[in-house]
A and B are shown apart, each in its own frame.
Chain A
């Protein structure tokens, strides 16, 4: 199996005097390291400079609202079932009169909590959701937490803010391929 075209055939033939002297080889090696000395560095200065991680990166969770700003989640619990780390828990509640502007369906999640110590960012909740309500943002990391009481993310941190809407901008990836609408049309 050839991995690169830089492999060299080794041999144990007798070395010539020039090779025994090491000096030409040393000069060659020094030239190589000096070339690298002036090359562009590969380092990305992480906290200051952040690399774009691609359109399918799975980062911070977000509970989507629809176009009118209503929460899409209907607290069906499929995400919690799909979650292999059992990180998601929720309590469902019935929508009252006058709350139609807040929740899209008649049932909604009164609390929705993700334990970020358990979450493995696999994205199965995103795939399981029939209402396209939960997404893992491709453009944002989960902030670092250092205290136990910062671990559980409730609706206050998860629900999409109206002034900070999340859209998957990349034209190639409009939605996850297994998203219900897409897979249904494929079947």
Chain B
């Protein structure tokens, strides 16, 4: 099961590179890669082949073992985190039920966090071992950014943990049965989580660690060949895993409206185990639909927004998202205490009112031209 999940993860990461290029092209009114195979579908294979046959160069002043360790760590941690995501309810063979999940951990969400934090070491080790100022700067940026945004990420999720009372991702998903998705309880938490997920994946608008305009290539400046490929691959795997996590935590994972009806009709018409398995597969497809939407959303945002400046990044993380996340936790807690279900919407409502008030108070009239 775990090997299947790794395989699927790698396949999706591979085609994410293709999708990224296609999405980028389409948003810029181009066509994108379309020469290798029909619609360019073999492009990832061609890219991988190219990566393998390039010269594997290690700078003479670099720390050789750490230099090799960096990309290995990055891809290892990226792959490990996909193990605890529940992709479906499970498969029944007579009386044997196998859950569609790599490992069922009762602290799944903590595991994901731990592994994702370890992922920073991949970038840090690689950037430091390159013995290059740009690489080191990129690595330091990656580390500080990930640490800063992990706090808001964790706090946004604590609100969910408070509501479900479990650290197991499967339990969290099962509580969102049908259409009771966490999104409707935690709108603010969702926005914070999404923003922080972008930052954790080092995606635009938070891709300062590999900021080409300032740092040449960031932490992977000195890398070539498949080591570079591993770094890029790790980025796409991280993207897949965080999309899966967002869908599981806020969009109900494999739950969808009308799932009970689907399972009942399938089990009554096809027999208990076959029907159950088919229903699981439908749920898995729904989950993958959600995941693909979020992967698309990641790319969509990447080709829409420009990069933050570094101080803006830190301001956003520490001065805005962090207090908002704490506020969200407090309001959710109060809501749980006094049994108000949609307590978190109060924050949103207040925010909307304040925004409208501030734009109403803003001075109207002609825009003063800026003096040049």
Residue numbers of A with Cβ under 8 A of B are: 9-14, 16-18, 21, 23, 26, 29-30, 32-34, 36-37, 39-43, 45
Give CA–CA (A30, B30) in the complex, Å. Answer: 18
Closest chain-B Cβ to A99's Cβ sits at a distance in Å of 51
Q: Contacts of B27 on A, CB cut-off 8 Å?
A: 33-34, 36-37
Nearest CB in chain B: distance from A27 CB, A: 10
Tell me if B318 counts as interface (CB < 8 A to partner A): no
Query: What's the nearest-Cβ distance from chain B to residue A178, in Å?
Result: 39
B196 smallest CB distance to A (angstroms): 15
Q: Quick check: B304 and A13 within 8 Å, CB to CB?
A: no
Asked if residues A10 and B31 are in contact (CB atoms below 8 Å), the reply is: no
Chain B residues engaging chain A, CB cutoff 8 angstroms: 23, 26-31, 34, 191, 300-301, 303-305, 351, 354-356, 358-359, 361-363, 367-370
Interchain Cβ contacts under 8 Å between A and B, 30 examples:
A10-B369, A11-B368, A11-B369, A11-B370, A12-B370, A16-B355, A16-B358, A16-B359, A16-B361, A16-B362, A18-B358, A21-B355, A23-B191, A29-B304, A30-B301, A32-B304, A36-B26, A36-B27, A36-B28, A36-B29, A37-B26, A37-B27, A39-B29, A40-B29, A41-B26, A41-B30, A42-B30, A43-B29, A43-B31, A45-B34
A171 to B125, CA, bound (A): 69
Identify whether the interface residues of A are mostly helix, strand, loop, or mixed. Answer: loop
Q: Which residue of B is nearest A39, CB measured?
A: B29
Cα of A65 to Cα of B356 in the assembled complex, Å = 78
Q: Is the CB of A18 within 8 A of B359?
A: yes
Please determine whether A41 and B29 come into contact, CB atoms closer than 8 angstroms.
yes
Residues of A within 8 A of B368 (CB): 11, 13
Distance, CA A10 to CA B370, complexed state (A): 6
* Contact residues in B for A9 (Cβ distance below 8 Å): 367, 369
Q: A11-B367, A17-B354 are in contact. Are A29 and B29 (CB under 8 A)?
A: no
Q: Does A13 lie within 8 Å of B358, measured CB to CB? A: no
User: What residues on B are CB-neighbors of A40 within 8 Å?
Assistant: 29
**Provided the pairs A11-B369, A30-B301, A34-B300 are in contact, do residues A17 and B359 lie with their beta carbons within 8 angstroms?**
yes
A34 contacts which chain B residues (CB < 8 A)? 27, 300
Question: With a CB–CB cut-off of 8 A, which chain A residues contact B362?
Answer: 14, 16
Q: Which residue of B lies closest to A43 (CB)?
A: B31
Closest chain A CB from B360 CB (angstroms): 9
Return B21 CB to nearest CB of chain A, in Å. Answer: 14
- Chain A min CB distance to B359 (Å): 4
Residues A30 and B370 in contact, CB atoms below 8 Å apart: no
Closest 8 CB pairs of A and B: A17-B358, A11-B367, A16-B359, A18-B355, A33-B304, A43-B31, A16-B362, A29-B304
Residues of B within 8 A of A41 (CB): 26, 29-31
Contacts of A23 in B (CB 8 A): 191
Q: Cα distance A13–B368 when bound, in Å?
A: 8
**Residues of chain A with a CB closer than 8 A to B29's CB:** 36, 39-43
* Cα A6 to Cα B292 with chains together (Å): 35
Set of chain A residues within 8 Å of B361, measured between Cβ atoms: 16
The answer to whether A33 and B300 touch (CB under 8 A), given A41-B29, A43-B31, is yes
User: A109: shortest Cβ distance to chain B, in Å?
Assistant: 43
Contact of A26 among B23, B305, B363, B370 (CB under 8 A): B305
- B296 — nearest CB in chain A belongs to which residue? A37
How far, in Å, is B256 (CB) from chain A's closest CB?
Answer: 24
Q: Identify the closest chain A residue to B359 (Cβ).
A: A16
Smallest CB–CB gap between A169 and chain B, Å? 31
Q: Which residue of A lies closest to B351 (CB)?
A: A21
Least CB distance, B255 to chain A, in whole angstroms: 26
Q: Indicate if the CB atoms of A43 and B30 lie closer than 8 Å.
A: yes
The interface centre, meaning the residue of B34, B304, B367 with most chain A CB atoms within 10 A of its CB, is B304
Residues of A within 8 A of B301 (CB): 26, 30
Kindly state the separation between the CA atoms of A12 and B31 in the bound complex, as whole angstroms. Answer: 38
| Chain B residue, CB-CB nearest to A31 | B304
- Contacts A16-B362, A18-B359 given: A30-B26 contact, CB under 8 Å? no
Nearest-neighbour CB distance to chain A for B201, whole angstroms, equals: 17
A16 proximity list for chain B (CB < 8 A): 355, 358-359, 361-362
Contacts A30-B300, A33-B304 known; A13 to B359 CB distance under 8 Å?
A: no
Contacts A18-B355, A18-B359 given: A13-B305 contact, CB under 8 Å? no
Per the bound structure, the CA–CA distance linking A54 and B301 in Å amounts to 40
Q: How far is the CB of B368 from chain A (nearest CB, A)?
A: 5
A32-B370 Cα distance, complex, nearest whole Å: 26
Query: Whole-angstrom distance from the CB of A110 to the nearest CB of chain B?
Result: 46
B30 and A17 form a contact (CB under 8 A): no
> When chains A and B are docked, how far (Å) is the Cα of A33 from the Cα of B300?
8
Cα of A12 to Cα of B369 in the assembled complex, Å: 8
Q: In the assembled complex, how far is the CB of residue A47 from the closest CB belonging to chain B, in whole angstroms?
A: 10
B143 to chain A, nearest CB (A): 25
Which residues of chain A are near B28, meaning CB under 8 Å?
36
Most B-side CB within 10 Å, residue of A9, A37, A43: A37
Q: Which residue of B lies closest to A11 (CB)?
A: B367
What residues on A are CB-neighbors of B355 within 8 Å? 16-18, 21
Q: Identify 4 new A-B residue pairs, CB closer than 8 A, beyond the known A14-B362, A42-B29.
A: A9-B367, A23-B191, A32-B304, A41-B30
